[in-house]
Chains A and B, each alone.
Chain A
Amino acid sequence: MNFFSLAAKNLQRRKGRTMLTVLGVAIAISVLFSLLALNSGYEKELNKEVNSLGVHILAVPKGCPYEAASLIIHGGVIPKYLSDSDYRNVSTIADVELATPMLMHQFMKKDEKTGVSTPHIIYGINMEETRKLKPWWAVEGRFFSDNETGVMLVGRGLADKENLSVGQVLPVGPKKENFTIVGILDRTGDQDDQFHFFPLKEAQRVFNKQGLITTIAVRVRDVSRIAAVSQEMELIPDIQVVTMTQIMGTIMNLAGSARSLLLTVIAIALIISAFGIINTLLMSVNERTREFGMMKAIGASGLDIARTVLAETVFITLLGGILGTVAAVVGSSIIESFVKGMLPYSPGGSLIFYSPELVGFSLGFSILLGLLCGIYPAFKSSRLTPMEAIRGGVE
């Protein structure tokens, strides 16, 4: 027998009360754990998403740059355009390693079976340059070359969703021109999985946007030159410059405020559950005044009794912590969809990222919670004077 097994047996006496307290802790810990998992997952995914652009600077038409940038990352259409001449100006700036124009277009495609229309996004790209920006691109079938007509690539996610295969022909644009799928991109785990890719000239022709582009993606020779290059780009009248660090920062800020709201809620939940634990313990300490008196009489020191009470608390919170962590892992998809709805910008991949450190942290935290909550009841129980307790008052 040790203090922990004694505590476990003591807790069995009031199973209902113990379980309710454990449940309270479990809920608080599971929310805490999910939020932390979400936090690390969110940053990870966002980084991955921004890096997968392979781009340091985006040139977008003047307007709200962040909205534009976020649309570009996530796929979307801005009703404003840059011109081919802007592109030529950008590519001549010193220190620009690579600049490539892109045209984005969105069209609605009606599903023949369900009759539901969903937006599809077409990227008109310069394949040779894009492949330099995204060297990890691999394809089933083949890439197209920039002068080809009537060809397209599709992302793997889109292909799976729509049952597309290499060689299939799709009607595109106002005139329903036939485009052949020459390749399907291997899964990249980011937004590229969901797009159609056309040769830039074809995209401009089909959608009547000759000479127009939505954005210019720029890679700089040396990361330390990003600021200098973007300053020079700002001099071109039509262009607004957005660097990836700015985008990251803005998104993280937006997400940060949503997160601090969540954190507040969790802090309140934890405080409530802490008071619940303290209350439960004080109740059980008061109920057992006589028993503690007996324990002292048979040789327990005040410290021994405090230790028993602390062991009980830690038992409750650790059990709650384990339960909460398991529940958070099991229910992560529910939590994720809830949180995705709350955040202003969500990366496409899985947001919740569990690490062993995180599991360790939440279990460690639940032990700490138990120790903190147990201090007062333990102190109180250790100060009892035994015989008064046992015989019920001074004779």
Chain B
Amino acid sequence: MSCIIEARKLCKVYLRGREEIHALKNVDFSIEAGEFVSIIGPSGSGKTALLNLLGCLDTPSSGSLRLNGTEIAGQKERDLVRLRRENIGFVFQQFYLMPTLTARENIELPLLFSKKNRSAKRIDEVLQMVGLADRGDHLPGQLSGGEMQRVAIGRALINDPKIVLADEPTGNLDSATSEMIFGLFSELKKRGLTLVVVTHNLDLARRAEKMYTLRDGRIVGCVERASLDGA
């Protein structure tokens, strides 16, 4: 299988006042297309920086990051936006749904930015896929936490991304609902999507095919599902 994400000596340095913060230090890893990967790590370990880079929201300070064959380092903002639209679907801990838009309109929102035309049928399909076929006209306030996260996942899928990045997707959900969301992720994996999930929840992280541990800006561990199953 080919690598869809490939990081080599990836570094990210932020300035906070005069202080340099080395969020990522010489990180090497690769993720294959269609893989389901989880990343765990304590606060301050560099997860946000990594998500920023993987999501094409920022460029590396040094090193290389290739996304679907394209080098991210040195890209202009315009090209980053395009790469993001074409490759990435984002799912957040806080869902970040627009409260005045219905579930259907929230899912439609990325189309406004990507200027793509999608038929109502495609939106129905996505609603169906995330199990909200009958909730399309509800406002986020009328939905449960799990339903809101499913709307957010639908929103991440509408542009047909190759990679779905999830940032603590179950952080605000109870365990039964978290279970459902992970079930949904497994569904997506079966459809050929690459999934990268950042989480604190070790139980759920272990259900990915590969689990990276991040600490102080370095990858300190990588466990494959095969060995997890064996344990």
Contact = CB atoms under 8 A, between A and B. Distances in A.
B155 interface: yes
Contacts of B30: none
Give the top 7 A-B pairs by smallest Cβ distance, nearest first. Answer: A294-B96, A9-B100, A299-B85, A297-B90, A300-B113, A387-B52, A301-B81
B78 A9 contact: no
B110 A299 contact: yes
A139 to B, nearest CB: 67
B100 A385 contact: no
Contact of B57 (A1, A6, A12, A297): A297
A10 B167 CA distance: 25
Interface of B: 14, 16, 21, 23, 43-49, 51-52, 55, 57-58, 77-78, 81, 84-85, 88-90, 92, 94, 96, 98-101, 105, 108-114, 155-156, 159, 167
A293 B77 CA distance: 15
A1 B116 CA distance: 12
Contacts, number: 95
Given A298-B113, A395-B46, A390 B92 contact: yes
Interface string A1-41: 11100100110110000000000000000000000000000
Nearest to A387: B52
A391 interface: yes
A349 interface: no
Interface in A169-190: none
Interface residues of A, number: 29
B83 to A, nearest CB: 10
A394 B47 CA distance: 10
Interface in A39-62: none
B48 A388 contact: yes
Contacts of A385: 52, 57-58
A390 B58 CA distance: 14
A9 B167 CA distance: 27
A13 B139 CA distance: 12
Contacts of B44: 395
A304 interface: yes
A263 interface: no
- Among B43, B48, B155, chain A packs the most CB atoms within 10 A around the CB of B48
A394 B81 contact: no
A394 B23 contact: yes
B58 A299 contact: no
A297 B93 CA distance: 13
